[in-house]
Amino acid sequence: MMPHQTAKDPNFLARMVNGNRKERGIKVQHWNKGPAHLVNKHYQIEALISEHRPHVLGLSEANFYNTHDIADINQDGYDVHLASTISNPQLNVAGVVVYTHQSLKVKRRMDLESDTISSVWLEVGLPRQKKILMCHAYREWKFLGQADTSSGTLAAQLERWSSFLTQWERALAEGKEVLVLMDANIDFLKWTNDNLPAGDSTAKLRPLIDQLFDRIFPQGVSQLVTGATRSWPGQQDSGLDHVYSNK
């Protein structure tokens, strides 16, 4: 049973899902750049960095393949981190790419990652300041370029999601501040609606939502994005891009 169904405090869910976060000294951004290959988005990434100057920029749906040249995606003053899925011989692609500014102290946390999950875990902070754990992730509907489409079944999606939540739980167990930014492909605008039609994508993903509510939110984690992250004429607004913090 999901926590919001049993909470006695009517404001419990609002605090648990929305939360608050004071401004810190590190500027972090996450962007779903769309289905194009990252090597073809170099100038757009360069313009985004020039305008916003983030310390950390995570890209989901990055589509950077092991046949691509990393020199084609480098940005001056930044280090590049590729999701471990690029080393999986069955996948050969990074669904997430993260840029970190070289003014940061950064430690890649491969021990929290898997070569079947599009996530990049980092321990980051400014010099002489307390470090936090940060993850940029992308929840894929299915693996790209596979002749076998079984990775798109609900059971396969749930298995990958559960594995990602295990990464998250291990990070939280370290007692640090943990920040997770992701294109979750789960609509948080509807995830507490129990009256959705059976064919609605959010209704179909209820097992994933239940695990999130049962395993992550009770550990003091809040989802910070409160408004729609995608609006399109003739379509219902959706909230697929999420930011989570335990602080």
Which residue has better confidence, 142 or 23? 142
pLDDT score, position 8 = 33
Element (H, E) at 100: strand 93-101
pLDDT band at 18 (very low <50, low <70, confident <90, very high): very low
Q: What is the pLDDT of residues 198-230, one digit of tens each?
A: 889 999 999 999 999 999 999 999 999 998 888
Q: Where are the alpha helices (DSSP H) in 115-240?
A: 154-172, 201-204, 206-215
Interacting residues of 47 by C-beta distance below 8 A, sequence separation 6+: none
How many residues are there in the chain? 247
Quick check: helix, strand or coil at residue 92? coil
Mean pLDDT of 122-149: 93
pTM for the whole structure: 0.88
pLDDT score, position 168 = 98
With pLDDT > 70 as the criterion, what percentage of the chain qualifies? 90
Q: What is the pLDDT of residues 20-57, one digit of tens each?
A: 434 458 999 999 998 999 999 999 999 999 999 999 99
pLDDT score, position 146 = 86
Phi then psi for 136, rounded to 5 degrees?
A: -115, 130
